[in-house]
Amino acid sequence: MSTNDSTQTPAQAVRAVWILWSAFLAGLGIFAVVVYFVRDPNALPQDIAQLFFLLAWAGVFVGFPIGYFVRMQVYKANWQINSVTPRGYLTGNLFFFAAAEPAGLMALVAILLGAPWWPTSAPLILALLLLLPNLPSERLMQPALPDEIRK
């Protein structure tokens, strides 16, 4: 896939974002399975697990807004003819996913360090629910107005 906007199509950008989105979810899923099997409730003091639990909530309440903000700034910088360019769509979502992932990872680390599954998994569940409306689609890369009105 080329990074040149003139050759990258919206379909290619959406395919790349689907791969990123899937990798994000697969990474959390694989890590969750590992945590399930290697978890030792007596491994470390609860203070450290509590710290990661708080970091997970910080990831939800700070990471997601920062991710949305940076993504929108990238979209604005790559806005052309009433739509975002495929490169801007890919780059913006890459930043968004990078800002969103730590919330889930921190919750899983807290569980790995001995915190109970519930309520420690709540930030992970909330992070996954916040990702659902962000499924990749070509909608933002399609001009909102028909060609005859834009002229």
Residue 144, in any domain of the structure: no
Residue keyed to tokens 């962000």: 134
Q: Between these two residues, 42 and 6, which has the higher pLDDT value?
A: 42
Global pTM value: 0.79
Residue 145, in any domain of the structure: no
Residue 1, in any domain of the structure: no
Residue keyed to tokens 């801007």: 88
Domains in the chain, number:
1
Band (5; pLDDT cuts 50, 70, 90) = very low
Residue 147, in any domain of the structure: no
Residue 146, in any domain of the structure: no
Domain range for 61? 10-138
Residue 93, in any domain of the structure: yes
Distance from chain centroid for Cα 147: 33
Measured CA to CA, the distance from residue 59 to residue 23 in angstroms comes to 19
pLDDT digits (tens, 9 = 90+) for 69-124: 999 999 999 998 889 999 999 999 999 999 988 999 999 988 888 888 999 999 99
Residue 48, in any domain of the structure: yes
